[in-house]
Structure 1
Amino acid sequence: MTAQHETAKEPSLIVTREFAARRAESDDVVSTLSIESQAALRQFSIERTVGYGVDYADAVELRARVLDGQDWRSAATALADACLHRVHVAPHVAGGPTRIAYLRRASALLRMSQMMMLSDTAERRAIFAKAAELYAHAAELARDRERVRIATEQGVLAGWLIPAVGAVASAVVIGGVEGWAMDFDSIGEALAARGIDALMLDAPGQGETRLRHGHHLSPHWRQAYGRAIDFLDESAPGRPIGIIGNSMGGSFAMAVAVDDRRIGACCDNGGIIAPWMVPPSIGTFFSKMVAFCGTEDAGQAVESWKSVTPAADGPNAGYPLLIVQGGADPLVSMELAEALLHQAPTGDKQMVVFSDGQHCVYNHQHDRDALIADWLRARLHGPATAVDPR
């Protein structure tokens, strides 16, 4: 082989993929950005972004682009397009597992792109619809979950069922004001791996239920949750059922558990004792709570939120309860978490605290998911053992 031939081949030996490196996030740099960009960077840490299904490398790149001046929505959308480019341009390279991974990455990025949108515009609905379709395409290829639509008197509930092999129990999993069914699918996957069918539900005011079907939170929300539990109960009569709520969804989960005797165990990961007491001064989060109710009338929205009563008594007051709390949660203080623990009507309760945990313990995602899934499996199917907090 001649030297000339070797040189001619050298360029094909090295292929470089270009990425934006992680940026320093100094106050001086962040202060030059738009108010929306500053809020997005503050609210969606890398850990939280990854917790919603965004790949770590995409989360780093997203923050870098925003720090360089690109707005949050267009930066996330551009990264989603890059993932889809890998699927469509090189199908011979993107085999089944690769296609599934990039479709899910693109879906998560599109969902992230609409997080700072406060109004349910046609553009937002289109973004979320595309994210759901990409997620559905990945589900069809992987054959590991299926789309679910449940009719209720108030409107359609949308969600995703992640079935378990040899299922011994079922569970409803819900998100909060911002993170919804697809965003918390890591918990559903952990449940399914432990023999629990997981219904990842967009409850009233969330996800496709809201943006596609126009079903918002109202004082009648319990009836809709009851239909979701009916769905699981009718699919496997007699099988025990649990419920898991993340962020404000934890408040809903507890309120459902105390009222419905079919709930055999409940986990609250980040809820509060009185959601309706979140003040307007919180800003965009309060605005999102109002939008959750499909209204611009803050007073009307507060009345709907007043019906969420996680510490109330009820016919199923002895349900087993696990509260998962982050010791460094900037939204839900230890004082608020302990108040919820002490005022919960059940005597069968425990709280596990991750000392440096963020809100919903996104920064310990694997350990959090394993804790919740193992505990639920034990309470629904195995011996009622206490959680070992070590």
Structure 2
Amino acid sequence: MTDDLVVKANLAHQRAMAMTRLLDCGMDYADASRLHARASEGEPWDVIAEAIAAERLAQADRAEAEGRVVTAAEARRRGIAALVFAQMAFNFDEPRKVELYRKLIAACGRLGPVFDLPFERVETEFSEKRLIGWLVRPASLAARGTVILFGGQSGWGAAYLPLARELARRGLATILAEGPGQGETRIEQGLYLQEGIEAAFGRWVDFIVADPSLGTPGIWGNSYGGLWAARTASSDSRIGACCINGSFARPAILPFRTAFEQSAAMIGSEDRAVIEAVMAKLRFDPTQQRIACPLLILHGGADPLVTLEDQQPFLDAATGEAVLHVWPDGEHTIYNHSFERTALVADWFAARLGPAA
């Protein structure tokens, strides 16, 4: 890639991965600042983020070898966050993205022994392949409920580890789910976004109800993931509460190169007609699909992608409790009010997914 192309790519990365998003997903402020500063100087985004991750993971290894497990866990979490954003520089599953995602998976695998919460990789069968996720339990192991938590076109799995920690502090477990078209489920299993996505997330509901220690299932979808959460909640009465954070009820290809590429990668086709056909089948229609469980909708007034009108069909579908919370200056999925957002949602789930275990 030429210097001009690197600069152009980095400007796009800085818009898509703003400081607020980096911090929300667990990067250290100093690391996030270095990433943006060095990207502004023309270094490739993925190379910088990978180097930052390597430093943090090496720090974790030294601390673990010396018995300093708290420091080891904190450094490893920051290294994981840096790898989340290193791989995000690529939309398609080219060799470099696959390499970085495998490093991310390996780093997550080494977090468990030093983490202050039970943390393990989990799988469940779907369409003759495997859905991949990470299960985070509260320190007590038994949970009052378990939230299936996921993102949309680019934020997956371990990106939501900071949110899972806050849920655990309230006695809730979390499955950091990677659905069809996302993360390891896509890269290693070859499962792509398709009509009937709710059946895939329903398999995580099966996983939860099969284990009494996981309590009542809840579901929390961010960005496009909110649409899939809504579809799942409307089709599965076992779900005890649903949160939708900044999503489209009627998905479409957004008018940006990155958005098209991410949609193409999720669906497994660069044919615009194919992508549009899949998205048409994923639309949420409140006249046909109803949500009976408690529903929480989050919206950012400064979201450049999703309008409140885009989310109105979810509210129209509610047959019971429905709450809309708006941050007038909120960015997409409320990166810039991460503490307030996460506290609000975690408390809300804790109040609705059953008594303390």
Cα distance, 1:49 vs structure 2: 1.2
The answer to whether the 8 Å contact 1:149/1:159 transfers is yes
Mean Cα displacement is larger for which, 346-355 or 207-216? Answer: 346-355
Whether 1:172 and 2:145 are equivalent positions in the alignment is no
Q: Which residue in 1 is equivalent to 2:271?
A: 297
Quote the residue 1:85 is aligned against. Answer: 58
Counterpart in the other structure of 1:36: 9
**Structure 2 residue 199 is the aligned partner of structure 1 residue 211:** no
> How far does residue 237 in structure 1 lie from its aligned partner after superposition?
8.2
Unaligned runs of 5+ in 2: none
Between the aligned partners of 2:342 and 2:11, the Cα distance in structure 1 is 30
CA deviation vs aligned residue, 1:151-197 (integer Å, no higher than 9, x gap) = 11252110011112242222211111110111012222222211222
Gaps of 5+ in 1: 1-30, 383-390
Pick the aligned partner of 1:356 from 316, 326, 329.
329
Change (3 A) 1:162 1:89: closer
- 1:282 equivalent in structure 2: 256
Q: Following superposition of structure 1 onto structure 2, how do residues 1-390 of structure 1 map, counting pairs within 5 Å?
A: 34-88=7-61, 95-142=68-115, 144-164=118-138, 165=140, 166-236=142-212, 239-275=215-251, 277-279=252-254, 281-313=255-287, 317-337=291-311, 339-381=312-354
Which is worse superposed, 135-144 or 262-271? 135-144
Q: Indicate the SS of the match to 2:153.
A: coil
- Maintained 8 Å contact 1:62/1:75: yes
Q: 1:207, 1:49 → 2: CA distance?
A: 18
Of structures 1 and 2, the one scoring higher in RCO (CA 8 A, sep 6+) is 2
Q: Secondary structure at the match of 1:306?
A: helix
Q: Name the TM-score, length of structure 2 as normaliser.
A: 0.91
Deviations 1:118-140 (A, max 9, x none): 22022211210111111120122
CA distance in 1, matches of 2:6, 2:97: 23
The structure with the larger Rg is 1
Distance 1:202 1:119 in 2: 16
- Distance, in Å, in 1 between the alignment partners of 2:214 and 2:106 is 33
C-alpha separation between the residues in 1 aligned to 2:257 and 2:94? 20
Mapped partners of 2:121, 2:18: distance in 1: 29
**Residues matched between the structures, number:** 349
User: 2 CA distance for matches of 1:194 and 1:82?
Assistant: 32
Residue 177 and residue 157 in structure 1: after superposition, are their counterparts in 2 closer, same or farther (change >3 A)? same
- Detail structure 1 runs of 4+ shifted over 6 Å in the superposition: none
Residue 109 (structure 1) shift: 1.1
Deviates more, 1:77-86 or 1:302-311: 302-311
Q: Give the aligned residue type for 1:133.
A: A
Q: Can you list the C-alpha shifts for 1:218-242, whole angstroms capped at 9, x where unaligned?
A: 2242322121110001112894221
| Structure 1 residues 106 and 261: CA distance shift in structure 2, 3 A | same
- Report the AA paired with residue 175 of structure 2: L
State how far apart, in whole Å, the 1-side matches of 2:66 and 2:247 are: 44
Residue identity opposite 2:253 in structure 1: V
Distance 2:213 2:52 in 1: 44
* CA-based RMSD: 2.2
Give the deviation of 1:59 after TM superposition: 0.6
Shift, 1:291, TM fit: 0.7
- Residues 268 and 363 of structure 1, relative CA distance in 2, 3 Å threshold: same
- Call closer, same or farther: CA 1:347–1:51 in 2, change over 3 Å: same
**Residue by residue, what CA displacement relative to the aligned partner does 1:271-292 show, whole Å, maximum 9, x if unpaired?**
11111x234x222112101110
Distance 1:118 1:238, change over 3 A: closer
Where does residue 13 of structure 1 map in the other structure? Answer: none
Q: How far apart are the structure 1 equivalents of 2:63 and 2:150?
A: 36
Find the aligned partners of 1:81 and 1:51 in 2 and give their Cα distance: 20
Instruction: Report the AA paired with residue 212 of structure 1.
Output: E
Q: Classify 1:219/1:341 alpha carbon distance in 2 versus 1 (closer, same or farther; 3 Å).
A: closer
SS of 2:323's partner is strand
Q: CA offset at residue 80 of structure 1?
A: 1.4
Q: 1:199-248: per-residue Cα shift (whole Å, max 9, x none)?
A: 11001111111112211112242322121110001112894221100111
CA distance in 1: counterparts of 2:268 and 2:6, whole angstroms: 30
d(CA) in 2 for partners of 1:251, 1:86: 39
| Partner residue, 1:15 | none
Letter in 2 for 1:44: M
